Amino acid sequence: MGHPFPIREIARQAGLSEATVDRVLNGRGGVRESTAREVRQAIADLDRQRTQVRLVGRTFMVDIVMQAPERFTTAIRSALEAELPSLRPAVLRSRFHFRETGPAGELVRILDRIARRGSQGVILKAPDVPEVTAAVGRLEAAGVPVVTLVTDLPASARRAYVGIDDRAAGATAAYLMGQWLGERPGNILTSLSSGFFRNEEEREMGFRSAMRARHPERTLVEIAEGQGLDATQYDLVRAALERDPGIRAVYSIGGGNIATLRAFDDLGRDCAVFVAHDLDHDNTRLLREHRLSAVLHHDLRQDVREACHTVMRAHDALPPAGPTLPSAIQVVTPYNMPPQAAV
């Protein structure tokens, strides 16, 4: 039973004699199983308390760097602020570096500036391009741990990825789409904000693979590079609808859903099934209005909390943990929206 605590300290925690604790730790006989459990519990309690002592008075300055639409970065900021009390007794302070679009070089300059200035960690959502991967390597070399959030940079030196299994999410969207379209004819519009985000690429591959296997008769029409912004998304969707009168459903991988629905409305077209991602303010309202069929969601608060814990572990402020598991994918309809959904 490995542990770093003196027998006297374990005995005091458990309320047992040192001799009894010694017999338990060394596997000698004459000890009831209930007593052995008390010793194991005492060690576990001491370990938790040691973690709390390591955290008391610690301040972690973390930089949140994201390229995403404002509706998503707002959701991330809210999730982080809601989780701050759960990180006590440590204090986490954050600097936000948000932008909706722009060349990768701007992100690289932000990351390099953080590496020079110093930080306890970076939580990053960025396109998967070589220059960003190289900047992550420079951060890690400077002693700044990086955690990718929502979308991964698997070839980089980042410490961990926190988010869903995006291929599974895409396959889930295909399953729902097939079930709800049933025997009705119609092509499916798939919409990506950018082909450079790994999460969107994985979702599209999962969706396409599952549709090919289950519904090979369906035609998929792809649009991309709308950046998830309504201003650019509208023109892309409208042009696709005008080119293809058979589009009757949408799998929105990258957002801009208000503009997508407006394009359908302006052309007098019906969208029979609409599956989207993330319960941001826009999607919450559209789901309540029954304009969306379902939203594939994951708990951003849980993801942000895990990202912060990963940064803390990098500084030995929390005990080591196993590999980060994918976040659970929630299928949210107008009838099972979580109480904390955006209003």
- Do the Cβ atoms of 315 and 60 come closer than 8 Å? yes
pTM (global) more than 0.75: yes
Which residues 6+ apart lie within 8 Å of 236 measured at CB? 191, 223, 225, 226
**What's the mean pLDDT in 307-313?**
94
What residue ranges in 208-259 does DSSP mark as E strands? 220-223, 247-252
User: What pLDDT digit, counting tens, does each position of 3-42 carry?
Assistant: 678 888 888 878 889 999 989 988 888 888 889 988 888 8
User: What pLDDT digit, counting tens, does each position of 73-104 carry?
Assistant: 999 999 998 998 888 777 888 888 899 888 99
| pLDDT of amino acid 230 | 84
**Domains defined for the chain, CATH in brackets:** 7-55 (1.10.260), 59-163+300-327 (3.40.50.2300), 166-297 (3.40.50.2300)
β-pairing verdict for 247-252 and 187-191: parallel
- The alpha-carbon radius of gyration of the chain (Å, integer) is 25
Amino acid at 83: E
**What's the mean pLDDT in 214-238?**
92
| pLDDT of amino acid 102 | 87
| CA dist., res. 292 & res. 255, Å (int) | 12
